[in-house]
Amino acid sequence: MNDTKKYFHFTIGPVQDFVAQARRTRDFWAGSFILSWLAGVAIQSVRKQGGTVDFPKPDENFMSFLIVEQDEDSKKREGEGEYKNKLPKQGSIPNRFKATIPANNEEKPVKFDASKVVEDVRDAWKALAEKVWENDLESLCNEKYAHIKKKIWNDQIGNFWEISWVLTMDKDASDLLDRRKNLRTHQPPSQKGVKCMVMDGWQELSGGEKDFWQELSSRLGTMELREDEHLCAIAFVKRRFHDVFEKLTFSNERIKLTGWKVHSSVPSSYYIAAVHWLENLLLNKEVNKQLVKELLDSAEELGFGESEFKTEIYCLTEEVCKGKELNADAKKLVGCDGNIFFEHDLLVNFPTEKRKDKLSEHKAHLDNLKAIYEIASNKPSPFYAVLLMDGDSLGEKMSTPENQEPISTALDKFTKSVPDIVYENNGFLIYAGGDDVLAILPLEDVLKCTVELRKSYQGCFKETKNEALENSTISAAIEFVHVKTPLRIVLKDAHSLLDKIAKEKTGRDAVAVRVWKGSGRALEWAMPFEYALENGQFIIEKLANDFRDKKTSKEAEFSSKFFYKIRARFELLNPEQDSTSVFDKDSATRLLTADYLNSGVNREKPENQKLSFEEAKVRVGELLEQCRHVVRNKDEKDKEKWHVDAALLIRFLAQYWQTTIENKDNPQ
């Protein structure tokens, strides 16, 4: 008998190609959820063969739903009683893990076969795909499109996943899996014909049959599938898995799995962008019930009804709807498609020609919307935020065996804290597992959420009382995104922003921000957290708040004129991109202070209220501090160079931030 312990390393991918290639926020969530579920299948297969997963600790709530039989514990399956609200809503199992395979002995023989883990994962994926085929495609192909063969479907489903594993007796060998992945033995099948509109390079299923997709769209509904969306098998499973997952059953001699009810109420990018505008609308006493009813009626006529009725955003669910005497129409409006709040996007977002024919309803809706804009004194911001966070240098720390258990414990605590933090900041969590977080949030909430997540991460590691881990840090990438920007571009960019800018260029324990306007990428700013935060708040948020709250006042902290001309001023500070700044910090501050005072900040103020040069210098200095291009490097002191995008970011936030109505008594 072999009495030596073994260590099993496993990973499944491609992660970004599966998760980030998304056309809708729900595709984004679905890809993350399915990938997490398949990693859970692998963990269960390892456990059934006698192994124990050491790192990271699996989310046992997620795993309990993965393996529980519905007829054995129906209450748990439905999320009732003590299990209420514990139905997993997002992925929480990382795609990579390490397990210990115990020593084999006569009393407790262990027969571990790594190839069976791979087989179980592939079979579970095929079972899910088959359920989608049976539910959505089988009858249509049999009735009208028999020439559409299932071969394309089977080839794509059967050859997508790249699974790598290593089995070793060396518990300290942490790089074996990476070396194994570098062999790149997986080769996806070649793809011919018309390509999928979501996943690059994969053939769409129909072979170019436009009528097929129109018919399928009419059967499923345009909220599920637009008639012009031609998808490959993998993208179609992502789009439709939510409808069949609770019906899924899969079993073999090792494991028996069932799905559970997943809520597909993932807020659209338009809805997330409009959250605080909608909150203010329902709290605004001047917006009468009749106007809300007319807006709702015209939206329903256009087909943009209650597509978001199950979406739960904290400020709308907890603050506006619960305990408030909202009428039925106002509550229905909370559940409407986010498109209806944006007049400039209504025409381009009509899913069908039939809706374009509803010109009278369209005009009525625009008239209602304009009336509400006038009363509310603003329009919804067309921007939302994508937040991606990842722990710093954990792989290096994991190479020390005594660190592995406390790291796993800290990450488990952190993962459990993430959903509440994101929810209470009005966001929707896409994924939280290990040291990774992925979420979408309103523009107004993402900075505060980032601070709270970082605080939780650091707190969980401080609790380990391990000197090597107590100062563990996490970095963040924040993308402020215009609703018209293709989601898959932003998701791919977020990983690059995190890895290359926040971590490599800025030196970790840092935040990197990009703004995507309708025309493309507009600005970028990065800063180590120690320079970006003051008293637990982003300094740029404080400055934006000052400017936004007083932008119509004669006492404005920063005038618009000052911001609009600031790029030219920074070209003066940095005449050449790669040269050393020609102004030291004090000289630059004095120069911009003079420019600030000349921008009209003191205009029309009484003489005794005008800012002095020294008072103005303090304000400008705080702004200029965020315009330093700081890079933390192990071998050098912090470097700095003036960076205009910080000022432009403050102007952007001040322009698009929705101020929430403070008086919430007796809302409409």
Question: Hey, which residues does 195 pair with through a beta bridge?
Answer: 203
Within 8 A by CB and 6+ apart from 606, the residues are none
Say whether pLDDT at 255 is over 70. yes
How would residue 106 be classed by pLDDT, with cut points 50, 70 and 90?
Answer: low
Q: What is the pLDDT of residue 528?
A: 93
Count Cβ neighbours within 10 Å for each residue of 623-657 and write b for 16 or more, e otherwise. Answer: bbbbbbbbbbeeeeeeeebbbbbbbbbbbbbbebb
Count Cβ neighbours within 10 Å for each residue of 200-210 and write b for 16 or more, e otherwise. Answer: eebbbbbeebe
Q: Which two tokens stand for residue 202?
A: 């994969």
Lowest mean pLDDT among 21-35, 67-81, 337-351, 446-460: 67-81
Q: How far apart are CA 599 and CA 554, in angstroms?
A: 12
- Give 108-122 pLDDT, tens digit per residue: 667 889 999 999 999
Q: What is the pLDDT of residue 576?
A: 53
Residue type, 538: F
**Looking at residues 420-440, what average pLDDT do you find?**
94
Q: Are 543 and 557 in contact (CB under 8 A)?
A: yes
Say whether pLDDT at 105 is over 90. no
Say whether pLDDT at 290 is over 60. yes
The two beta strands, 436-442 and 383-391, are antiparallel
Say whether pLDDT at 391 is over 80. yes
- Give 150-167 pLDDT, tens digit per residue: 888 999 999 899 999 999
From residue 169, give the alpha-carbon distance in Å to each of 172, 246, 402, 407, 415: 9, 39, 17, 22, 30
Which residue, among 565, 527, 563, has the nearest Cα to 543 in the 3D structure? 563
Backbone angles phi, psi at 504, to 5 degrees: -70, -50
Average pLDDT over the chain, rounded to an integer: 82
How would residue 282 be classed by pLDDT, with cut points 50, 70 and 90?
Answer: confident
- Give 37-77 pLDDT, tens digit per residue: 999 999 999 999 999 998 889 998 899 888 755 444 443 44
Of 345-359, 401-415, 557-571, the range with the highest mean pLDDT is: 401-415
Q: How far apart are CA 235 and CA 202, in angstroms?
A: 9
SS3 432: strand
How would residue 547 be classed by pLDDT, with cut points 50, 70 and 90?
Answer: low
**Looking at residues 195-211, what average pLDDT do you find?**
87
Q: Give the sheet arrangement for strand 6-13, strand by strand.
A: 52-55, 96-101, 6-13, 162-168
How would residue 663 be classed by pLDDT, with cut points 50, 70 and 90?
Answer: very low
The two beta strands, 249-251 and 96-101, are unpaired
- Give 358-375 pLDDT, tens digit per residue: 556 677 778 888 888 887
Please work out, in degrees rounded to the nearest 5, the angle formed at the alpha carbon of residue 353 by the alpha carbons of 348 and 356. Answer: 60
Say whether pLDDT at 444 is over 90. yes
Q: Which two tokens stand for residue 410?
A: 């800290």
Q: What is the pLDDT of residue 588?
A: 80
**Looking at residues 619-631, what average pLDDT do you find?**
81
Lowest mean pLDDT among 285-289, 521-525, 541-545: 285-289
Q: How far apart are CA 295 and CA 287, in angstroms?
A: 11
Say whether pLDDT at 185 is over 50. yes
Q: Are 525 and 513 in contact (CB under 8 A)?
A: yes
Q: What is the pLDDT of residue 548?
A: 65
Q: What is the pLDDT of residue 520?
A: 86
Q: What is the pLDDT of residue 667?
A: 39
Report which secondary-structure segment, H or E, holds 249: strand 249-251
Q: What is the pLDDT of residue 76?
A: 47
Let me know if 425 is exposed, middle or buried by CB neighbors in 10 A (0-12, 13-18, 19+): buried
Q: How far apart are CA 459 and CA 398, in angstroms?
A: 19
SS3 446: helix
Q: How far apart are CA 652 and CA 383, in angstroms?
A: 10
Q: What is the pLDDT of residue 186?
A: 56
Taking the CA atoms of 625, 626, 631 and 632 in sequence, report the sign of the dihedral they define. positive
- pTM of this prediction? 0.88
Q: What is the pLDDT of residue 161?
A: 94
How would residue 640 be classed by pLDDT, with cut points 50, 70 and 90?
Answer: low
Q: Which two tokens stand for residue 212?
A: 């097929």
